[in-house]
Amino acid sequence: MSQQDLADRVGVTRQTIIAIEKDKYSPSLEVAFKISEVFEVDLACVFSYS
Amino acid sequence: MDVSFKAKSLVVSLILTLAIFGWYLVAVFSSFPLDQEPPSFVSLLVLVVWFAVFESLIHGLLAIKHPSQREDERDKLIERLAQSYAYWFLCGCLFFVMGNIVMASWLGLSSSHLVLNLVGTPNGIFHLLLLCFVSAEVVNFVTQLYHHRVSL
């Protein structure tokens, strides 16, 4: 899955996905849950807090 | 380098603001000291119309090239943050102008100081305030561009 595909499925821009991947932006809970739903995993598998 | 529609839009707005209003303000302040007559609102209105026309045209062309772009939560967050910075910058500029008006009128200070001479006329005050608003817009655009490219 490309960044653009993930962005389209989640409803954000590709630049937002890039910022999330680079740990430069923390998405809202809604976006975080949507991302985990796309990958069909739990939220904790995608995001962690440190 | 992948540049988003939002970043391109901000660059266009920044360039147009600096080119149109920057050119106008440089032309006005280069004629210092400003005359006592009220500013010509017609020329400024023409500038605003040209600004709107160019903005609409260029943003329309950008939208054609980026048909599916939308503003998401990160864009809105950056916009709110930049507007906050621009608001405080504008407040600072306005207090600066107000302070100079007080110094010029209440305290009776007069000198060859640029700002004190400018606030001595309605024309000068008008264009100083316009400079404040344009500068705040530039701060807004630059802050958004910075956060779009570097952080957040």
Query: Quick one: pLDDT at residue A10?
Result: 92
pLDDT(B29) > 90: no
Greatest alpha-carbon pair distance for chain B in Å reads 59
For residues B24 and B41, the model is more confident at B24
Query: Which structural domain range is residue B135 located in?
Result: 5-149
In chain A, domain spans: 3-46
For residues B29 and B75, the model is more confident at B75
| Token digits of residue B19 | 């080119």
Which of A16, A17, A28, A35 to mutate to test binding with chain B, by most B CBs within 10 Å of its CB? A16
Q: What is the pTM of this model?
A: 0.84
Helical H segments across A1-50, by residue range: 3-10, 14-21, 29-39, 43-46
Estimate to the nearest angstrom the gap between the alpha carbon of A31 and the chain centroid: 6
Give the pLDDT confidence of B85-115 residue by residue, as tens digits: 999 999 999 999 888 888 777 766 555 566 6
Give the pLDDT confidence of A25-35 residue by residue, as tens digits: 999 999 999 99
C-beta atoms of A15 and B74 within 8 A: yes
Question: What is the CB-side half-sphere exposure of residue B41 using CA atoms within 13 A?
Answer: 2
Query: Quick one: pLDDT at residue B152?
Result: 57
Greatest alpha-carbon pair distance for chain A in Å reads 28
Q: Among all residues of chain A, which has the CA nearest to that of B3?
A: A15
Work out how many domains chain B is built from and give that number.
1
- Measured between CA atoms, how close is A45 to chain B, in angstroms? 22
Of the candidates B2, B7, B72, the beta carbon closest to that of A16 is on B72
pLDDT(B78) > 90: yes
CB crowding B60-90: b at 16 or more within 10 Å, else e: eebeeeeeebeebbbbeebbeebeebbeebb
Per-residue pLDDT of chain A (50 residues; tens, 9 = 90+): 899 899 999 999 888 999 999 988 999 999 999 999 999 999 998 888 87
